[in-house]
């Protein structure tokens, strides 16, 4: 195994970059590492200044080229029982254990380890590195970097997002829309329940409406995806304070994981119309201060790249596999694709290990990733 990869992965794992934490220490480490090779970097901070995206270019300036993209944040380990230290590298039986080894610091370590090889070659086109924050909470952080790409005269033509796919090329995934609904009713003593407006009861009617809308979504099928249709589910619901009080407030969160070409705005519009035209008039008959509001939480577009494109065929050659597929999880790829950068997903490890206790990536997978990057470097050589 490439000792440089192991050393870099060991360093990256030591940074607790859970999405609720800052990623600046890790970004500073990467920035200094790239600077040691004479590579300049750009940072795009969030509003608090506690997080940042990193963007860098290797090789000549100009339009076109390839971008390697990965996120720096990881999911929490709270409530998980680990046999190995979560924020350290443990090697055991051909695997590297630690939070983020698969999702997706293993890919970041491979990219950084490959930098000297790209530096050593005169490249005929630019290679870009794009490392983002807050991917795990809805692909939130990368958006400032995407806006930079949209406005830039020098934009990569192709992007490989290194999410864990077992080093199999992926051309598509669903999009996601997450929303919160807050129902404000009118509280009173439960002995006089008809005088109040039960927020939980009206939230339940909205949840039932969502079930109907979800059934309608399932009628549009695309066999390239599993499940083969857009899905809708309510993930959390909370409300009320005591059994003998008619609840004044109830809140629930729901998400739609939709096919790339599916229009989900109409689903939200229909739910809002039902709330405004059917439920609110009933509620306000008893209390004028009742309300139903909706708040977007997060969302990202789906991805659907032509697996017969030149880019897809090149990636198949670089990674040694033409077994193209789709994945159930989302990535930042749809956002890059919307910005005009053709995007595919391919990276070491499996999401079967991601987000779980004792997360790991096999050394063999990292070696396959280095193989892909070496082939990419040879293809980009002037």
Task: Name the residue with tokens 């789906």.
Answer: 302
Confidence of residue 153 (pLDDT cuts 50, 70, 90): confident
| Coil, helix or strand at residue 47 | coil
Domain ranges of the chain: 3-173+302-380, 175-300
The residue-averaged pLDDT of 4-24 equals: 97
Q: How confident is the model at residue 23, as a pLDDT?
A: 98
Q: Is the pLDDT of residue 58 over 90?
A: yes
Catalytic status, residue 338: no
The residue-averaged pLDDT of 138-152 equals: 95
Give just the sign of the alpha carbon dihedral 337, 338, 341, 342.
Answer: positive
- Annotated catalytic residue within 135, 136, 332, 337: 135
Is 168 in contact with 218 (CB distance < 8 Å)?
A: no
Catalytic status, residue 261: no
Could you confirm whether domain 3-173+302-380 is CATH 3.40.50.300? no
Report how far residue 43's alpha carbon sits from residue 53's, in angstroms, rounded to the nearest whole number: 5
Q: How confident is the model at residue 382, as a pLDDT?
A: 83
Q: How confident is the model at residue 262, as a pLDDT?
A: 87
pLDDT 10s digits, 61-101: 988 999 999 999 999 999 999 999 999 999 999 999 999 99
pLDDT 10s digits, 322-353: 999 999 999 999 999 999 999 999 999 999 99
- Annotated catalytic residue within 16, 73, 163, 255: 73
- For domain 175-300, the CATH class is alpha beta
pTM given for the model: 0.93
The rounded mean pLDDT for the chain is: 96
Q: Is the pLDDT of residue 269 over 90?
A: yes
Confidence of residue 304 (pLDDT cuts 50, 70, 90): very high
pLDDT 10s digits, 351-376: 999 999 999 999 999 999 999 999 99
175-184 sheet: strands from edge to edge: 231-239, 249-258, 175-184, 291-300
Is 346 in contact with 160 (CB distance < 8 Å)?
A: yes
The DSSP string of 126-195 is -EEEEEES--TTTS-TTHHHHHHHHH-SS--SEEEE---BTT--EEEE-EEEEEEEEEE-B--BGGGGGG
Q: Is the pLDDT of residue 1 over 60?
A: no
Strand partners, 252: 181, 237
Q: How confident is the model at residue 209, as a pLDDT?
A: 97
């Amino acid at each position: 195994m490439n000792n440089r990869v192991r050393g870099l992965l060991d360093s990256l794992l030591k940074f607790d970059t859970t999405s609720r934490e800052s990623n600046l220490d890790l970004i500073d480490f990467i920035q200094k590492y790239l600077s040691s090779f004479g590579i300049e970097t750009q940072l795009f901070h969030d509003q608090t200044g506690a997080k940042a995206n990193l963007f860098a270019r290797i090789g000549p300036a100009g339009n076109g080229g390839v971008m390697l993209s990965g996120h720096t944040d990881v999911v929490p380990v709270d409530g998980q029982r680990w046999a190995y230290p979560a924020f350290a590298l443990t090697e055991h039986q051909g695997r590297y254990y630690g939070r983020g080894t698969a999702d997706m610091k293993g890919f970041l370590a491979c990219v950084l380890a490959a930098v000297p090889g790209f530096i050593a070659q005169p490249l005929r086109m630019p290679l870009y590195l794009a490392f983002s924050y807050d991917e795990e909470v809805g692909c939130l952080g990368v958006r400032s970097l995407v806006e930079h790409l949209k406005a830039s005269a020098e934009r990569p033509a192709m992007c490989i997002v290194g999410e864990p796919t077992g080093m199999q090329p992926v051309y598509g995934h669903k999009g996601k829309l997450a929303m919160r609904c807050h129902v404000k009713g009118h509280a009173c003593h439960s002995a006089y329940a008809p005088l109040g407006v039960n927020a939980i009861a009206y939230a339940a009617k909205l949840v039932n409406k969502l079930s109907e809308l979800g059934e309608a979504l399932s009628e549009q099928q695309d066999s390239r995806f599993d499940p083969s249709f857009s899905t809708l589910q309510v993930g959390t619901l909370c409300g009320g304070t005591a059994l003998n009080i008619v609840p004044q407030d109830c809140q629930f969160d729901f998400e739609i994981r939709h096919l790339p070409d599916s229009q989900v705005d109409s689903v939200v519009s229909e739910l809002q119309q039902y709330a405004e035209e059917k439920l609110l008039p009933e509620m306000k008959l008893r209390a004028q201060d009742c309300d139903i509001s909706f708040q977007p939480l997060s969302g990202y577009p789906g991805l659907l790249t032509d697996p017969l494109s030149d880019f897809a065929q090149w990636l198949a050659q670089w990674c040694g596999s033409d077994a193209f597929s789709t994945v159930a999880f989302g990535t930042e790829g749809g956002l890059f694709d919307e910005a005009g950068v053709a995007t595919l997903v391919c990276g070491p490890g499996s999401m079967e290990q991601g987000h779980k206790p004792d997360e790991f990536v096999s050394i063999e997978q990292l070696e396959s990733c280095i193989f892909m990057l070496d082939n990419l470097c040879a293809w980009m050589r002037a």
